[in-house]
Structure 1
Amino acid sequence: MGDHAVELTIVIVLFLLVSGMGFAAARWRRAESLAHLDEWGLGGRNFGTWITWFLLGGDLYTAYTFVAVPALVFASGAIGFYAVPYTILIYPMGFLVLTRLWSVSYVHGFVTPADFVRGRFGSPTLALLIALTGIVATMPYIALQLVGIEAVLKAMGVTGHLPIVVAFLVLALYTYSSGLRAPALIAFVKDTLIYIVIIVAVIVIPYKLGGWDVVFGSAEKALSATNPNTGAPKGSLLLNANNQLQYITLALGSALALFLYPHSLTSVLAAKNRNTIKRNMSALPAYSFLLGLIALLGYMALAASQEFGVKPIVTDGKADPNTIVPVLFDKLFPDWFAGVAFAAVAIGALVPAAIMSIAAANLFSRNIYKEYLNRDATPAQEAQVSKLASLVVKVGALGVIIFINPQFAIDLQLIGGVLILQTLPTVALGLYTRWLHAWALVGGLVAGLAVGLVMLYQIPNPNNGKLHFGGSAYKLSELGIDSDKQIYVGFVAVLVNIVVAVLLTALFRALNAPELDDVTQAGDYVADRSPDSAPPAATTAGAGIAGPEA
């Protein structure tokens, strides 16, 4: 650890700085009381354009993104760049969908996507399934933020789980105290550090390696080497005929899933008006440009592995690919700048982890606790339950890292992405049409979840010997198609979901099945906040969402 004293000192100092900001955030834009989900969980629904931009950037582009995307490029090549187009595709779609969700949530005081589903389709069963899917998909995502921190600690020679425990204990305390205001304030520091580090990296590292032609040439040579586990090349600098379909469906499926995650929607619902959402959908592609630069670090690492001996850190006899970026910075930059880079990644874990825990806690308190355990819960009781639930969520994520192989968290997140995509017909399509019947949506959701899980179970990973849940690319030959091409599991599952929902809706319509209540009206989806007005949620607290059981 002595060789990394400067790096470690900088990381600790910056961590203490943002922790202090987290606690101070309770007094930032201070409300009369945080004992209300609108205040604690949504920051008073009063964040303007710049705050929302930093909050969404800090929420969507996580610590794991900064280590996993270049690690995938390092290991496989061009397929790792799928993250760039999907974060471009989503914003025009978000422009059409998220403004409507914000408006109807503003009018009715909805705090979670399951709140909207409960009000729109009148089915507590469907709302419960949406809430549970959101919680299950979010939990491993929180754990993966710890994987990012762990990669940085390994690069600095720090072993053991104590630093991670301390970091998440502090995170839990200031999130409990300040709610969504804490990650909103810290996001300014996190995003600024990330921008500085990446821009410097894409200038300095290629210069040290001899230029971009050397970077791409070395990367192509390294990726063309034979993978001893498969007998095929390790990857490719450009997409080939067999992975183009996988790339397209993975990018599109990931794009459709991005704003279905509860933490993404939490940041959206915290905006003060529709124009804030519109401006952010126009400005957030700046982060996609940054993500493209981050992905290029994978090619730089391949080149640096030959020139400077940059290799992933080996733990328990296995190379950890997630450490390749921290090792790259450690080898090619002076200690003080490497320390800033490590701090950026570590702080980059705190912002999304806080938002994710708040989002999962809100789903529990609003759609499980209030719906099934205490229908007469006051806003203060809801907020208190959310605070406690956020602590439980963080402890659970910490337990996954400490007591279970971190690879398990990665596998769960892989499953989580497929699961959350299955809420698309209910949440996204439900914002535009009420034609799909609630019972049919339940059937479609269950069918999509089942198909997705079965397909994921059948995928092996020859690189680590896993027979099941080894990836998300499904061979078309397994579907009876004579082709070596692969397709993203989530894309197939959501198509099955939609087809089942449509067919069952037609059946229920033919059988004259009873319609469930819809508390929303057409005008609710285009409503905006009048200047200097308080959100209706401040008084309604989402009350009045009722309807027959599905």
Structure 2
Amino acid sequence: MRNVDIVQLSVFVLFLAAVTVVGFLAARWRRGQTLMHLDEWGLGGRGFGTFVTWFLLGGDLYTAYTFIAVPAAVFAGGAMGFWAVPYGAIAYPLVFLIGPRLWSVSHRHGYVTTADFVHGRFGSRALGLAVALTGILAMMPYIALQLVGVQAVLTVMGITGTGPAADLPLFLAFALLAAYTYTSGLRAPALISFVKDTLLYLVVIVAIVYIPARLGGWGNVFDSAEAALSKPDPATGRPSGSLVTNEMTHWAYGTLALGSSLALFIYPHTVTGALAAGRRDVVRRNAAMLPAYSVVLGLLALLGYMALADPGVVAAVREAGNPQLAVPFLFDAAFPAWFAGVAFAAIGVGALVPAAIMSIAASNLFTRNVYTAFLRPDATPEEETRVAQLVSLLVKAGALVFVFAFGRSLAINMQLLGGIWVVQTFPALALGVFTRWFHRWALLAGWAAGMVYGTWTAYLSSSPAQEHFASPLAEIPFLERNGYVALTAFVLNMLVVVALTVAFRAFGVPDGADETSPADYTADAADRLAAPEDPGRALTGEGPR
């Protein structure tokens, strides 16, 4: 057991205490007449400009997954871990095309969630419910990944134990998230994102300049990493990885990048950040500017190679048996205690900000598309908001279940598992903003086929360390190559959707009514239809349209 580093822990606690205070004070920032309205609590008043949205979406997309899971994947497998870098280059053009149209139609009709749009577009409560439940489910492992990131840095600082004490950091993180998210809604992570990104850039710049110099230069870093990756893995007898992808990993690398790019913007938390923008052009500008973050992601991935080049870090990770500790151990070894504390605080804040947004997005989905749509269609805005606040607490508890139920040794698998599920909503959501040709029942059948196939295939994957859900990769039918399950499930999904749409159209199966119009998809801030004091009543047939 490590001794607690008081300096590191003090700096870490100081920053977390500061952002927690900011989180509570955010309830008064740019506040409307009341926070007891989903437009205010769940979307920050729908009024964020380009600058705030940049930080909010950055806080949304670049998380503890960025600091912990990506370098850990590089540390464990080499070049394969870099698949996270190109997927941004693929995803942001899709965001540029889809995002403004989704923002416009959602703003015009008062939609709060992706399921609101799908319900309105295809006239199907069942399809809207499927999208909502998928979004909630996909958020659980993603939030769990953030909590694992907090636990990793606390472990390296010496906060360890056995039994319940070992999981105490997760409960502390849960309590912090629950408190300021419940009180301030989306304004809290939006405001804290400024602190998070400042710390992120500071730590990355220092790490990229200072650590390689300490390790003998970049040449030595790559040589040492290559030597470490070429050693046989005791569990498999094969090299654990390589500096560049090879013939056997090309398909895995490419499908992980492509499948993840399809998922990026349709995750509920990403859409929540975009819908909080005040104008259509804010979404377009951010889609054009956010690729700058991918540069930072590439630099962070290199931390995995730096960790492999430090024999002390390699030995510490092997002793712990957890690749997620590679970057925390690297920072602990390379930096003076006070700056290591700053770096750990960057990871901690980088976990809490997106976890807060994710829990808000999931609670919005439950409130609007389960509670209001099926249980209490006459719920007042105040009641909706109160339910969303309570559900945001339950969502974090559900994320803890994922942490306890699945192995934590490669946390990136948690995010990729969520991607398998959320990609199955792509036809209804992302393609739905361009066409309504797909039949609502075909979309529901395709979603079901993709969900069942993807979940079952991921469940069957195993490793020496984990019996089920050990990898998001599986053999691609007919190709004899491993690929990302999300993409193969998506292909199955689309085949079912197209085939059944043709069949249903041929047999004249009734389709649902589309409450949107072509003009809705290019509308701007002044063109909203729903009354500001009662948004979203369209889905229950109440209020002005």
Report which stretch shifted further, 392-401 or 98-107.
Answer: 392-401
The match for 1:154 is 155
Residue 534 of structure 1: CA displacement? Answer: 8.0
The match for 1:522 is 518
Residue 545 of structure 1: CA displacement? Answer: 2.6
SS in 2 for 1:228: coil
| Equivalence map 1:347-358=2 (5 Å) | 347-358=349-360
The match for 2:286 is 280
Amino acid at match of 2:420: V
| Equivalence map 1:64-75=2 (5 Å) | 64-75=65-76
- CA spacing shift, 1:131–1:408, aligned 2, 3 Å: farther
| Equivalence map 1:81-120=2 (5 Å) | 81-120=82-121
The match for 2:492 is 496
Q: Select 2:536's aligned residue among 519, 530, 542.
A: 542
C-alpha distance in 2 between matches for 1:82 and 1:272 = 33
CA deviation map 1:277-304 (0-9, x unaligned)? 1110111111100000000000011111
SS in 2 for 1:130: helix
The match for 1:183 is 189
The match for 2:445 is 443
Report which stretch shifted further, 405-414 or 2-11.
Answer: 405-414
- CA spacing shift, 1:502–1:377, aligned 2, 3 Å: same
The match for 1:423 is 425
Residue 87 of structure 1: CA displacement? Answer: 1.4
Amino acid at match of 1:251: A
SS in 1 for 2:532: helix
Does residue 257 of structure 2 align to residue 251 of structure 1? yes
Does residue 505 of structure 2 align to residue 509 of structure 1? yes
Amino acid at match of 1:258: L
C-alpha distance in 2 between matches for 1:413 and 1:201 = 25
CA deviation map 1:196-241 (0-9, x unaligned)? 0011100001101111111111111111111222222110100101
C-alpha distance in 2 between matches for 1:417 and 1:469 = 13
Amino acid at match of 2:200: I
SS in 2 for 1:544: helix
- CA spacing shift, 1:442–1:534, aligned 2, 3 Å: closer
The match for 2:383 is 381
- CA spacing shift, 1:90–1:413, aligned 2, 3 Å: closer
The match for 1:58 is 59
- Moved beyond 6 Å, runs of 4+: none
C-alpha distance in 2 between matches for 1:58 and 1:236 = 31
Q: TM-score, normalised by structure 2?
A: 0.94
| Equivalence map 1:163-242=2 (5 Å) | 163-242=169-248
The answer as to whether partners of 1:122 and 1:546 remain within 8 angstroms in 2 is: no
**What's the % identity of the aligned pairs?**
54
C-alpha distance in 1 between matches for 2:409 and 2:222 = 29
Residue 455 of structure 1: CA displacement? Answer: 2.1
C-alpha distance in 2 between matches for 1:404 and 1:96 = 36
C-alpha distance in 2 between matches for 1:405 and 1:535 = 47
Does residue 393 of structure 2 align to residue 391 of structure 1? yes
CA deviation map 1:477-526 (0-9, x unaligned)? xx354x4x321111111011011001000000000111211100000000
Q: Select 1:269's aligned residue among 275, 278, 290.
A: 275
The answer as to whether partners of 1:140 and 1:410 remain within 8 angstroms in 2 is: no
Amino acid at match of 1:498: M
Amino acid at match of 2:398: G
C-alpha distance in 1 between matches for 2:46 and 2:126 = 27
How big is the alpha-carbon RMSD for the aligned residues of Structure 1 and Structure 2?
1.9
Residue 310 of structure 1: CA displacement? Answer: 4.2
C-alpha distance in 2 between matches for 1:262 and 1:136 = 10
Q: TM-score, normalised by structure 1?
A: 0.94
The match for 2:362 is 360
Residue 378 of structure 1: CA displacement? Answer: 1.1
The answer as to whether partners of 1:447 and 1:496 remain within 8 angstroms in 2 is: yes
C-alpha distance in 2 between matches for 1:258 and 1:238 = 25
Unaligned stretches of 5+ residues in structure 1: none
C-alpha distance in 2 between matches for 1:460 and 1:403 = 15
C-alpha distance in 2 between matches for 1:213 and 1:409 = 29
Residue 34 of structure 1: CA displacement? Answer: 0.6
- CA spacing shift, 1:3–1:459, aligned 2, 3 Å: closer
- CA spacing shift, 1:539–1:460, aligned 2, 3 Å: same
The answer as to whether partners of 2:8 and 2:157 remain within 8 angstroms in 1 is: yes
- CA spacing shift, 1:473–1:400, aligned 2, 3 Å: closer
Amino acid at match of 1:129: A
Amino acid at match of 1:84: V
SS in 1 for 2:238: coil
The answer as to whether partners of 2:373 and 2:539 remain within 8 angstroms in 1 is: no
The match for 1:470 is 470
Report which stretch shifted further, 412-421 or 66-75.
Answer: 412-421
What is the count of residue pairs matched by the alignment?
Answer: 535
SS in 1 for 2:474: strand
The match for 1:141 is 142
- CA spacing shift, 1:432–1:271, aligned 2, 3 Å: same
Residue 165 of structure 1: CA displacement? Answer: 2.2
The answer as to whether partners of 2:313 and 2:330 remain within 8 angstroms in 1 is: no
CA deviation map 1:412-443 (0-9, x unaligned)? 54432101110000000000000000000001
- CA spacing shift, 1:22–1:147, aligned 2, 3 Å: same
The match for 1:323 is 325
- CA spacing shift, 1:18–1:534, aligned 2, 3 Å: farther
SS in 2 for 1:47: coil
C-alpha distance in 2 between matches for 1:23 and 1:369 = 27
